[in-house]
A = this chain, B = another copy of it.
Amino acid sequence: MDERNAIGVVGGLGPYAGLDLVKKVFDNTAASTDQQHLPVVLISYPGHFPDRSAYVADQSKPSPVPALVEVLRRLDDVGCAIAGMPCNTAHAPVIYDALTEAMEREGRTIRLISIIEACAEAARRRDPSIRRVGVLATSSSLKGRLHSIALEQIGLEGVRPDWDYQEAVLNPVIFDETWGLKAQSDPPTEEARNRLLDGIRHLRERGADAVILGCTELPLAVPEPEFEGVPIIDSTDALARALIRATHPDKLKPLPEALAEKAEG
A residues in contact (CB < 8 Å) with B = 1, 6, 11-16, 19, 22-23, 26, 34-49, 67, 70, 74, 77-79, 182
**B40–A14 CB distance below 8 A:** no
Chain B's closest residue to A7 (CB) is B44
Do B1 and A13 have beta carbons less than 8 Å apart? no
Q: Is the CB–CB distance between A47 and B37 below 8 Å?
A: yes
Write the chain B residue with the least CB distance to A70: B1
A-B contact pairs, 26 of them (CB 8 A): A1-B67, A1-B70, A6-B45, A12-B34, A12-B37, A13-B34, A14-B34, A14-B37, A15-B26, A16-B26, A22-B22, A22-B42, A22-B44, A35-B46, A37-B47, A38-B47, A39-B44, A39-B45, A40-B44, A41-B43, A42-B42, A42-B44, A43-B78, A74-B78, A77-B78, A78-B78
In the bound complex, how far is the Cα of B9 from the Cα of A44, in angstroms?
A: 11
Contact partner, A34, options B1, B23, B49, Cβ 8 Å: B49
Q: Report the minimum CB–CB distance from A73 to chain B (whole Å).
A: 10
**Closest chain B residue to A78 by CB distance?**
B74
| Other A-B pairs beyond A22-B44, A35-B46, A43-B78, 4, CB < 8 Å | A15-B26, A16-B26, A37-B44, A78-B78
**Are A42 and B41 CB-contacts (below 8 A) given A13-B34, A74-B79, A77-B78?**
yes
Contact call A47/B39, Cβ cutoff below 8 A? yes
Report the minimum CB–CB distance from A248 to chain B (whole Å).
11
By a CB distance below 8 angstroms, the chain B residues around A14 are 34, 37
